[in-house]
Amino acid sequence: MAIGFNTENAIVETYRAFIKALRDAVSSGREVEFMAVLRNATTVPANQRFIEVVLTNDVPDTAITLAIDITNMYVVAYRSGDSCWFLDDADYPPNAAPGSSVFPDIPAGPRRRTLRFSGRYEGGNHSLQSVAGSNREGIELGMTMLGQAIGLLSRGDAVRDSERARSFIIIIQMISEAVRFQYIENRVTDHMPVVEGDQYDGLFEPDMHMLSLENSWSDLSQQIQRAQANGGAFPRPLTLHDRAGNGYNVDEVTFNVFAETKLIKHDEL
C-alpha cells in the first residue's frame, strides 16, 4: 500500500487529507481516550510492517518513497529510482528481516545501502541533528522546505550527509510527527494557503511545545494507556513545555493532551 503527497500547489485541505489518510492507514483500529493506537510490533508480519509514502514536488520526475514502520511511525528508509538508503538503525538491516521487506523489488547488493546516520533527532555523533549541524529549532519547516528536502534526497549519493540529515529532520516532523500530533499538523497548516493563490507566511520554526511533544511521544503513549488501570492518573507524571519553554507537569489525560495527540504507540502493559 502506498500513499502520496505532492507539495506543488498544496493547500490546507490536501495536506490534511494526506495526514488523515496516513493516520488511518497505520492505526490498529483500537482507541484509548479517543486516540488511535498503532499496531503491536510483536504481532505484525514482516511483509506488512512498512507503509510506503510517495513524495513529489514541483520539479517533473522528482520523487522519493519513504518506508515508514507502522508500529511507531519511524522513517526507516527511502527510495529514489532503483536505489534505496536505510537510516543507520540496527533494527532495520537492509538485507535481513525486517529490512528485507522494505522495497523488496530492489535486490540485495549495492543498490541497498545504509546511511551514515540514524533516524534519531539527537544522541551521539550519528544523530540527525549532529550530522545536520543544526538543532531542530534552527531548521525552518513549511511546504517550500519540504519540497526542497524531497529534491535533495532524490539525488541520492550526490548530496552531502549534512543535507540529507537536514532533509530528514524536515520530512519526519512534517509527516510522522504531524500524524502523531494534531498540534504539529496545525502548526504546518497555519503556514499554508487555504486556496491556491492565497498569500501566506509559508515558513516557520518549531516552537518549544512542539519539540516537547516530539521528545515525549513514547512516554505519553505509555502513560495514556497505563492510566486506564490507574483511575485515569498517569503512573509516572510527565513534564512538557509550553511554546515559551516553561515546564509544566501532566499527570492525566487533560483536554490539551486529548486535543493535541491523535496517534499513540502500542504499549505492552
Active-site residue, selected from the candidate residues 136, 164, 180, 187: 180
> What are the Cα distances from residue 43, in Å, to 38, 189, 195?
12, 35, 42
CB 129 within 8 Å of CB 135: yes
Active-site residue, selected from the candidate residues 15, 74, 78, 92: 74
The one-letter code for the residue type at 99 is G
Q: Which residues contact 206 (CB under 8 A, 6 or more apart)?
A: 136, 137, 139, 141, 173, 187, 214
Q: Tell me if residue 177 is catalytic.
A: yes
Q: Tell me if residue 31 is catalytic.
A: no
Q: Which residues contact 105 (CB under 8 A, 6 or more apart)?
A: none
Q: Tell me if residue 78 is catalytic.
A: no
Taking alpha carbons only, the member of 33, 22, 16 closest to residue 261 is 33
Residue 147's H or E segment, with its range, is helix 143-154
Residue keyed to cell 537536514:
166
Active-site residue, selected from the candidate residues 121, 136, 187, 214: 121
Q: Tell me if residue 74 is catalytic.
A: yes
2-6/50-56 β-pairing: parallel
CB 21 within 8 Å of CB 47: no
> What are the Cα distances from residue 93, in Å, to 30, 99, 107, 108, 143?
30, 5, 14, 11, 31
Active-site residue, selected from the candidate residues 92, 177, 183, 260: 177
Residue keyed to cell 538503525:
89
* CA dist., res. 162 & res. 125, Å (int): 12
The one-letter code for the residue type at 10 is A
Catalytic (active-site) positions: 74, 121, 177, 180
